[in-house]
Chains A and B, each alone.
Chain A
Amino acid sequence: MIDVNRQGEVWVFAEQEDGSLHDIVLELCGKARELADILGVRAAAVLPGTAVTPLARRLFAQGIDTVYVVDDPRLKHYQTTPYERVMTTLVERHKPQIVLFGATALGRDLAPRVASALRAGMTADCTDLQISDVVEPRSKEVHAKLLLQIRPAFGGNIIATIVNFDRWPQMATVREGVMPLRDGDSSRQGEIVQEKVELDDTVLALRLIQRHIEPRKINLKGARVIVAGGGGVGSKADFRLIHELAGVIGGAVGASRAAVDSGFIAKDHQIGQTGTTVRPALYIAAGISGAVQHRAGMEESAKIIAINNDREAPIFSVAHYGIVGDLKRVIPMMIKSLRERQ
């Protein structure tokens, strides 16, 4: 760990794969900029990999002042130990006050290991970050401008705010899709710092035998309208109605876990705590009862229409418009009404 360092920068771990930045990194850059402005410090990103320096421009555009590049052939494909070495070395060298990671599969492999090595705090899967003064309950000591790390817990039934008083840096992984992505400013300039971290082949604990990457075929996060179906749709054949409505409306197809588990649709359409978090302009939930895990992934949508034949379904608690009825009757009516307008 490092001591409390109020001049410390706000850092983002710039996750990349094969030379392309993960979407979450751009979301985090905007948040880091905002936090750094409140604290009056610089926002920086750590970018490990091979031949990744050109990516720095996109980080500057999103509000980053300094990019620490660590270029080493051993960092070409991610594995835990060398990346852990990079992050712990740079944290100890530059003493940032905040370090943010994406709560991706990679981020949640790396971040806890880094925190353990530093013996510092790490809060998983945050959905909001704020800066506030906090009074320590026992000592009554006032800690100025701490990072409030806000996250759901207990299966989404509670929201906990976590703080780290004195074993810094204050670190968190942040859920994908919850921080708004700002428009970048491609004319924005920044500083590139090439960092040296001692690595040798002994850090390569894993030997890669084979890798299979499935491209994300659907873009749920970017969709303006999402039509999502749940277990109540009933069958894979009837799920066609969901696709059809999405097609007419020009939206993407989402699904609840129940629909995915029943085999109505592939897992990459899943919305919710274990799937994608979305906040479209319009979310239509058809035959989705609305378990808390699903609601956690969609309740920030600007408008929500719930269609369910069970009046007591929890999905109605987050809906703006509710239709109590059989989706197999209601959806064709919606399709017809939309077609008539076109």
Chain B
Amino acid sequence: MPYDIVVCVKQVPDTANITAEAMKEDGTVNRAALPTVFNPEDLHALETALEIRDGYGGTVTVISMGPPRAADVLRDCLFRGADRGILLTDRRAAASDTLATSYILAQAIRTVGRFDIVLCGRQAIDGDTAQVGPQCAEKLGITQITYLEEVVSITGNTVRVRRSMGHGWEIVEAKMPVLMTVIETANEPRPPAAKRVLRYKRARVLDELAGEVKQALPEATDPQREEEVSCRAAALAARGLLIEQWNLDRISADLSRCGLAGSPTKVHRVQSIVLTKQGYSEIPATAEGVQQLIHELVVDRTLG
């Protein structure tokens, strides 16, 4: 029995390799200066989806919300085997907190239409909140299963999975539709397939085409550019290489629930953690040095 699966993925700044240059003077992060990566746990969510589809049939649709350059992760999904990519991009969605983000994603998933399973990474490495998955499930009014480690079996409309509980695991069953968040121990994501890379590397969203046309035709008037964009879009679409680009109108979103207006939590202050050489006492790596250190720790009652 085939299953229709929607996967939510996010392009994130590579927080593991943040350098001082990436911080602005006011202490906020200069996102534009950071290299971006496919959010690691979302790759495991995608792999889970592809494995289910390969085993049972069906479709894998990937949705990503972000700026136009987030089309990168959608191309990556197509390289790895996804059937369809949708970029959800709209300036009015900027500054959304997890509640607003999950509302927007849920509206997008509803717009996709039929789905049996929704998969998300447990959390994104820029915020580490792990809230969007559960909140999306609540918005869709469906069952959630967090911290998925293994899909044990799927029979009819019932999934049986093993989920981590932090200090152990449990095997549970749920009826579809179900939203599951996936952790990194769930699987080994497959690499991009060479043939699919050759095919989909030219896949674009409309905003990317507009940027390319602007560069290629610097002298052209706006109507001329628009015509060129729609011309290129039609050519790509004919070859199945136009990645869908949706905005908030396309998903019938209530604007009062999106962006800053739709976000109950506000950032009041941000401080960067600067690596301060606060000056430690250096102990020579000799027997005497170590002995002296231990003596100091005993004297100040840290030890003993």
In the assembled complex, A216 has its CB within 8 A of some CB on chain B: yes
In the assembled complex, B174 has its CB within 8 A of some CB on chain A: yes
The reply to whether B128 and A273 form a contact with Cβ atoms under 8 Å apart is yes
In the assembled complex, A142 has its CB within 8 A of some CB on chain B: no
Q: Which of B76-84, B137-145, B216-224, B226-234 contacts A (4 or more CB under 8 A)?
A: B137-145
- In Å, the complex CA distance between A191 and B134 comes to 33
The reply to whether A155 and B126 form a contact with Cβ atoms under 8 Å apart is yes
Q: A115-B99, A153-B127 are in contact. Are A209 and B171 (CB under 8 A)?
A: yes
The reply to whether A322 and B287 form a contact with Cβ atoms under 8 Å apart is no
In the assembled complex, B165 has its CB within 8 A of some CB on chain A: yes
In the assembled complex, A122 has its CB within 8 A of some CB on chain B: yes
Residue of B whose beta carbon sits closest to that of A316: B280
Interface string of A299-320 (1 = CB under 8 A from B): 0001101100000001011111
One of A115, A209, A249 near B131 (C-beta < 8 A): A115
What chain B residues lie within 8 Å of A149 (beta carbons)?
A: 265
Q: A113-B135, A161-B267 are in contact. Are A322 and B282 (CB under 8 A)?
A: yes
Q: Which of A1, A106, A109, A322 has the most CB of B within 10 A?
A: A109
One of A152, A320, A338 near B280 (C-beta < 8 A): A320
One of A157, A324, A334 near B272 (C-beta < 8 A): A157
In the assembled complex, A221 has its CB within 8 A of some CB on chain B: no
The reply to whether B138 and A157 form a contact with Cβ atoms under 8 Å apart is no
Restricting to B163-179, which residues have a CB under 8 Å from any CB of A? 164-175
**Size class of the contact patch on chain B:** 35 or more
One of A79, A167, A293, A314 near B275 (C-beta < 8 A): A314
- In Å, the complex CA distance between A249 and B271 comes to 37
The reply to whether A148 and B268 form a contact with Cβ atoms under 8 Å apart is yes
In the assembled complex, B290 has its CB within 8 A of some CB on chain A: yes
Interface string of B292-303 (1 = CB under 8 A from A): 011001100011
What chain B residues lie within 8 Å of A166 (beta carbons)?
A: 264
In the assembled complex, A237 has its CB within 8 A of some CB on chain B: no
Residue of B whose beta carbon sits closest to that of A88: B138
Restricting to A135-191, which residues have a CB under 8 Å from any CB of B? 148-149, 152-167
- Give, as a whole number of angstroms, the nearest-CB distance from B71 to chain A: 23
The reply to whether A154 and B166 form a contact with Cβ atoms under 8 Å apart is no
What chain B residues lie within 8 Å of A152 (beta carbons)?
A: 128, 273
Restricting to A246-296, which residues have a CB under 8 Å from any CB of B? 249, 268, 273, 281-282, 291-293
**Size class of the contact patch on chain A:** 35 or more
In the assembled complex, B98 has its CB within 8 A of some CB on chain A: yes
In the assembled complex, A117 has its CB within 8 A of some CB on chain B: yes
Interface of A is mostly: mixed
In the assembled complex, A124 has its CB within 8 A of some CB on chain B: yes
One of B98, B125, B143 near A155 (C-beta < 8 A): B125
Q: Which of A37-45, A57-65, A200-208 contacts B (4 or more CB under 8 A)?
A: A200-208
The reply to whether A159 and B294 form a contact with Cβ atoms under 8 Å apart is no
In the assembled complex, A3 has its CB within 8 A of some CB on chain B: no
The reply to whether A212 and B268 form a contact with Cβ atoms under 8 Å apart is no
One of A112, A160, A206 near B172 (C-beta < 8 A): A206
The reply to whether A113 and B138 form a contact with Cβ atoms under 8 Å apart is yes
In the assembled complex, A123 has its CB within 8 A of some CB on chain B: yes
Q: A212-B170, A338-B294 are in contact. Are A292 and B273 (CB under 8 A)?
A: yes
The reply to whether A115 and B135 form a contact with Cβ atoms under 8 Å apart is yes
Q: Which of A28-36, A90-98, A227-235, A325-333 contacts B (4 or more CB under 8 A)?
A: A325-333
Q: A206-B172, A282-B297, A321-B281 are in contact. Are A109 and B129 (CB under 8 A)?
A: no
One of B99, B174, B294 near A341 (C-beta < 8 A): B294
Q: A211-B170, A320-B280 are in contact. Are A154 and B268 (CB under 8 A)?
A: no
- Give, as a whole number of angstroms, the nearest-CB distance from B51 to chain A: 20
Residue of B whose beta carbon sits closest to that of A342: B304
The reply to whether A105 and B291 form a contact with Cβ atoms under 8 Å apart is no
Residue of B whose beta carbon sits closest to that of A281: B302
Q: Which of A80, A120, A291, A293 has the most CB of B within 10 A?
A: A80
What chain A residues lie within 8 Å of B23 (beta carbons)?
A: 157
Q: A125-B128, A158-B273 are in contact. Are A322 and B280 (CB under 8 A)?
A: yes
One of A1, A155, A305 near B293 (C-beta < 8 A): A305
In the assembled complex, A210 has its CB within 8 A of some CB on chain B: yes
What chain A residues lie within 8 Å of B144 (beta carbons)?
A: 80, 109, 113
In the assembled complex, B3 has its CB within 8 A of some CB on chain A: no
In the assembled complex, B198 has its CB within 8 A of some CB on chain A: no
What chain B residues lie within 8 Å of A49 (beta carbons)?
A: none
- Give, as a whole number of angstroms, the nearest-CB distance from B184 to chain A: 10
Q: A106-B165, A165-B266 are in contact. Are A206 and B283 (CB under 8 A)?
A: no
The reply to whether B15 and A162 form a contact with Cβ atoms under 8 Å apart is no
Chain B interfacial positions (CB closer than 8 Å to A) = 13, 15-16, 18, 23, 27-29, 97-99, 102, 125-135, 137-139, 143-147, 160, 164-175, 263-273, 275-278, 280-287, 289-291, 293-294, 297-298, 302-304
Given A303-B297, A329-B285, A333-B290, 18 extra CB contacts under 8 A: A84-B138, A112-B98, A113-B137, A116-B135, A119-B264, A153-B127, A154-B127, A157-B15, A160-B270, A209-B170, A212-B168, A273-B128, A320-B281, A323-B283, A324-B282, A330-B290, A334-B294, A337-B294
- A-B residue pairs, 8 tightest by C-beta: A325-B285, A155-B15, A121-B264, A105-B166, A167-B264, A112-B131, A124-B129, A116-B138
Chain A interfacial positions (CB closer than 8 Å to B) = 1, 79-81, 84, 104-106, 108-109, 111-113, 115-117, 119-125, 134, 148-149, 152-167, 205-216, 225, 249, 268, 273, 281-282, 291-293, 302-303, 305-306, 314, 316-326, 329-330, 333-334, 336-338, 341
